Amino acid sequence: MIRPALFWPLLLAAGTLTTVIGAGRVRSAEARLASAVMRLEQVAHKTRELADLSGKQERIGTQERPRQDVLALLNSVMAEAGVPSASFRSLDVEADVAVRIGTGAEAGRYRRQSLSLVLERLSPAQLGAFLEIWRARQRLWIPTRLELTHVRDPRAPQNLYSARILVTATYLDS
């Protein structure tokens, strides 16, 4: 049995304690919820950015691309542009150099690799289609030098050209 003199202080103390603990739990739950909502917003923002970036074409490689990578692309573009496979002459590594874009940590962050591609006996229409499809298909390998030379062939029904195309890709120097 609680003594009457202690009853009210105990009741008020218990009530105050209850209120303080309850308010603390509410504050804590509010903070947890606010943090979760903020995290959801951040994640949603990042996934939107991810979807947006995924929809864009690759402009910078994350690593050096093997020659086979370009060969596969070349075959695919030639087929779509109606360029016969017999037109393909060679694909050679031309250069792989560091790109200096400043000083300190930024310097040497990127490299550029170039491959030289030779196609022979292309009609102007085939060449145009090839370049257009090449550009539409990807934005990583960019033709940076074009050398078109007229092929003298009296038997050919139209002008034919041999093309040496230097394609260059930028990638992150890991």
Partner 1 sequence: MNSAAQVASHTLRWPAERFYWGVLDASILPSQLGSPTEQLHYLFEPLVPEVLEDLHVVFHSLGRRRYIACAIPRKVLEEEVDASAVRLIPAALPTFVTADFPLESLNLLTREFTPRTVRMARHRLGREIAAVVATSFLVLWIGFSRRVNAMDERHEQVSQRIGEVYEQALGAPSVNASLPPSLQLEARLRSLRHSRVIDPALEPIADASLQLQNLLASWPAAVPVETESIHISSDAMHVVGVLRSTSDVQLLVNALEGLEGWELRPPAVRSSTKAIRATLQFRRREESPR
Residue ranges binding partner 1 (CB under 8 A):
7-8, 11-12, 14-15, 18-19, 22-23, 25-26, 29-30, 32-33, 36-37, 39-40, 43-44, 46-47, 49-51, 53-54, 56-62, 99, 101-102, 106, 110, 112, 131-132, 134-135, 142-150, 159, 165-166, 168, 170, 172
Q: Output the smallest distance, CB 25 to partner 1, in A.
A: 5
With both helix axes pointing from N to C terminus, report the angle between 67-81 and 124-137 in degrees, rounded to the nearest 10.
130
Q: Are strands 88-99 and 142-151 parallel, antiparallel or unpaired?
A: unpaired
Q: CB nearer to partner 1: give 44 or 79.
A: 44
